[in-house]
Amino acid sequence: MNIQQGVSLKDKNWFQTGGTAEHYAEVKSREEFMSAADFARENHYPVFVLGEGANILISDEGYRGLVVRPVPGESPEILQSKQESGYEYVECMAGFQFQKLIDFCLDNNLLGIEEFSGIPGTVGGSVYINIHYFEFLLSDFFVGGTVLDIESGDISFHEAGWFDFGYDTSKLQNSHYVLVDAKFRVKKTTDLETAYAKGRRDEIMRHRANRYPGSHTCGSFFRNFTESDDVYEKLPVVNGRKMIYVAYYLDKIGVKGSLQVGDAIVSSRHANMLVNQGNATSEDVINLAREMQQLVKDQFGFIPQPECQLIGFNEYPLLTS
């Protein structure tokens, strides 16, 4: 494993903004992951694990510490389920691209996770945020995974319960644990059912391509509300239900395709997606997001908070009150 210095992160995230990593290592195996963590611990460097960069905004100042990027190592492995007939487990490294895992499963007549087709990112990043698409949450399929404790260097396997999944949340957040590999439960099926599932995958991807911008964005910038949010009680009821979708409020403030700061703009396709038109800085994106927060606050009395992970900022750069 090679540890490099002063590596640009701009070409390693979907927003295509941000500064450099003070130290940077790509790891292909569990052993390399552990060596990178040892290096950071010995030198007292903080660690940031970078996936495909599809859900982050990196500060223009970059990241002071070690950025570790798991890259695809071995192919996924299929394991027989001892508990349930008709189901199998598929196990793969955290750096594996999630779409490639879906395709691998479909090629082996294993169904379930194709519901997440077209969501960019690695297995590690997907477990970290517990990716969702309509009613599906990744935790519905997750069986367990190996985690590395960055502080102690210990490595251990944990079943799904340990990960404490919620909507957009998992135990990997705000912790010193990083995911090394993961195991998912999938249904063993016939060629015919797989053919239908491949059609569904293609349909989901077509739908997404029409609905969302395809580059220079982190997907949804702000997160939807949940019952555990302080503002939940303040949310209005629309058509008999609490309006938890942040895009509803962002649509109402009329910023779609128009509000812009520097070269960062609110997508014309989706009010919750911010797009770098080519030359935006991360500061542009932050200032745009703050304006959006202020407009929602002025009209509705509460402030949306980001789903996008903000990396390398000395202070929290968005509005809290």
The structure tokens listed for 40 are: 């950071």
Known catalytic residue: 307?
yes
Q: What sign has the CA pseudo-torsion 170, 107, 51, 58? A: negative
Residue from 24, 63, 96, 128 touching ligand FAD (CB under 6 A): that is 128
Exposure letters 122-134 (e unless 16+ CB within 10 A, then b): bbbbbbbbbbbee
C-alpha to C-alpha distance for 51 and 99, rounded to whole angstroms: 13
Q: Is 246 in the site for ligand FAD (CB under 6 A)?
A: no
Q: Is 204 in the site for ligand FAD (CB under 6 A)?
A: no
Q: Mask 57-76, x = binds ligand FAD (CB under 6 A)?
A: -------------x------
Consecutive H or E run containing 7: strand 3-8
Cβ distance to ligand FAD smaller for residue 188 or 208: 208
Catalytic residue, from 59, 139, 220, 267: name it.
220
Minimum gap (Å) between residue 299 Cβ and ligand FAD: 26
Consecutive H or E run containing 33: helix 30-43
Q: Is 124 in the site for ligand FAD (CB under 6 A)?
A: yes
Minimum gap (Å) between residue 290 Cβ and ligand FAD: 21
Q: Is 270 in the site for ligand FAD (CB under 6 A)?
A: no
First-residue to last-residue Cα distance in the chain? 44
The residue at minimum Cβ distance from ligand FAD is 51
Site size for ligand FAD (CB under 6 A)? 32
Cβ distance to ligand FAD smaller for residue 94 or 300: 94
Q: Is 224 in the site for ligand FAD (CB under 6 A)?
A: no
Q: Is 172 in the site for ligand FAD (CB under 6 A)?
A: yes
Q: Which residues touch 313 (CB under 8 Å, ≥6 apart)?
A: 59
Minimum gap (Å) between residue 137 Cβ and ligand FAD: 9
Q: Is 25 in the site for ligand FAD (CB under 6 A)?
A: no
Binding site for ligand FAD (CB under 6 A): 14, 48-56, 70, 94, 119-122, 124-126, 128-129, 131-133, 172, 178-179, 212, 217-219, 309
Q: State the catalytic residues.
A: 220, 307
